[in-house]
Amino acid sequence: MRTLLRPALTAREHFGACGILGRRAASYASIKDVTKLQEKKMNKILFPILGLEKYLSPNMDKKHFRLFDPSLEQIAKAEELFRPSDKHPIDYVTSAIRMDHAPSLTQPEVCFIGRSNVGKSSLIKALFSLVPGIEVRVSKTPGHTKKMNFFKVGKVFTLVDMPGYGYKAPDDFVEMVEPYLQVRKNLKRTFLLVDSALGFQKADLIAVEMCEEFGIPYVIVATKIDRSPTGVLLTQYLQIQEFIEKQTQGCYPQPFLVSSMQFSGIHLLRCFVAHVTRNLPT
């Protein structure tokens, strides 16, 4: 039995994420369109952490706020990995309920995990928003998705959408995800999604402990930042960052902020995926 790293933060009831992108957000899918915006709006979409930095004490150490700080050119290069072509197809490949059903792939892999209703499917749709007609499967009943869904991005990497945990989790989640984390040799990074309004919940901490126990490199992604008032978002961000610094070893020091509805942070996250799969030119 795992011992929780820290008691869960106080939670308030939260209603589910929207499953589709808004029309305005969809127009920001390409960095070419984002760079046409006024600088303030552009930075809000590309680097959402900038909106919080101005509220920090001048004496506060900000080195982990923009540890990953790519150029616009690098972000544009990374975007090309998420744009399909005849020589670079991007598509859903298969689903698996057990590791012996999972496809044997040699290219670098990243996986996305998170509680039910954390916005994982919406985030993956946003990442793949430049891929017409791609199918991101979503269970109609929250907590009932029990399959690993594999998306192949050309020959450069694979993205794995893991089952959401919650409700019957962590038992169902651990049963499926633990073997994956243990044996998937080409896994380069696990993206652990946390609701920006709620912070770490009990099940999130169990997911953290799994990554720590198996020595899996992972990163925290705070979702739905458009739904959190600035004060709440800043508080949660600082708490997440403190948790990473003091209670983890394998977690990337910089949490990422995203809004699938407003497209904030999506380009930066694409770029980080390209970076950890060694597909980002230096």
**22 within some domain:** no
**28 within some domain:** no
Report the distance separating Cα 50 and Cα 52, nearest Å: 5
Q: What is the pLDDT of residue 20?
A: 42
Contact between 223 and 257 (Cβ < 8 Å):
no
pTM (predicted TM-score) = 0.88
Q: Is residue 261 over pLDDT 70? A: yes
Q: Is residue 212 over pLDDT 90? A: yes
**31 within some domain:** no
Give the torsion through C-alpha atoms of 133, 193, 31, 272, to 10 deg: -110
Report the distance separating Cα 171 and Cα 92, nearest Å: 27
**21 within some domain:** no
The rounded mean pLDDT for the chain is 86
**16 within some domain:** no
**3 within some domain:** no
Q: What is the pLDDT of residue 139?
A: 60
Q: What is the pLDDT of residue 142?
A: 59
Q: What angle do CA 181, 277, 188 make, to 5 degrees?
A: 15
| Tally of domains in the chain | 1
Q: What is the pLDDT of residue 16?
A: 32
**225 within some domain:** yes
Mean pLDDT of 239-253: 95
Domain that holds residue 258: 47-276
Q: What is the pLDDT of residue 97?
A: 85
The amino acid that residue 147 corresponds to is K
Residue 177 confidence class, pLDDT cut points 50, 70, 90: confident
Q: Is residue 40 over pLDDT 80? A: yes
**6 within some domain:** no
The amino acid that residue 75 corresponds to is I
Nearest CA to 110 out of 146, 162, 145, 75 is that of: 162
3-class DSSP assignment, residue 187: strand
Q: Beta partners for 222?
A: 194, 257
Report the distance separating Cα 58 and Cα 20, nearest Å: 39
Give the torsion through C-alpha atoms of 203, 206, 208, 209, to 10 deg: 170
Residue 25 confidence class, pLDDT cut points 50, 70, 90: low
- At 197, which CATH number? 3.40.50.300
